A and B are shown apart, each in its own frame.
Chain A
């Protein structure tokens, strides 16, 4: 069985500061990993995904994440926070190949940007 743990239900950073959202996974085999963002009253938008290619993955809006097998982590970073980054962020895992068993999501991290 897979699981995802997101450390910190709320993270607050100043505008222009580094954003670091933490995600650790548990899986018997190296999984596929995803980060999604959700704005209020909206669905989920894919930021980036890891599918066993390059361990450093670049996504949209300046976000990137690094897959570290030894640490079972897939932390999301952005060098400089913008006010528009304020949202809920979800880390998710699926079996290699994705699909049928659905995505297993973490509880989410609410990112707050201080002016």
Chain B
């Protein structure tokens, strides 16, 4: 059974550009969550999608957005990139959201560097 796949693994962008990251969850999983990991702030919850609907969002500016497709694959977009957006972005998939979902499986992450 394939795990969570994130593409690309590494990305270098310039300030002001936008970027799109992709996440393919484990087959059968309908929930996809995104996290940002930085040395200073640690792991922070960005948002969760379930059945193509955003269920919750963490404390991040509107430049961070996402979507989920009917096949449960998810994309995350960051517009007008800032140096502080440099981070490891992790995607996690779960069978379901809320009650009944107790284990998140993480991908290897996308390392975004903004220069």
Task: State the A residues within 8 Å of B (CB).
Answer: 32, 34, 36, 41-46, 49, 51, 90, 92, 94, 97-108
Contacts and interface: CB of A to CB of B under 8 A. Distances in A.
A45 B105 CA distance: 7
Q: Give the interface SS of chain B, mostly helix, strand, loop or mixed.
A: strand
Contacts of A94: 102
Contact of A100 (B42, B56, B111): B56
Contact of B90 (A43, A46, A51, A98): A43
Interface residues of B, number: 33
A40 B87 CA distance: 14
B72 interface: no
B68 interface: no
Q: Of residues A36, A51, A98, A106, which shows the largest number of chain B Cβ atoms within 10 Å of its Cβ?
A: A98
Nearest to A36: B106
A46 B103 contact: yes
A45 B58 CA distance: 22
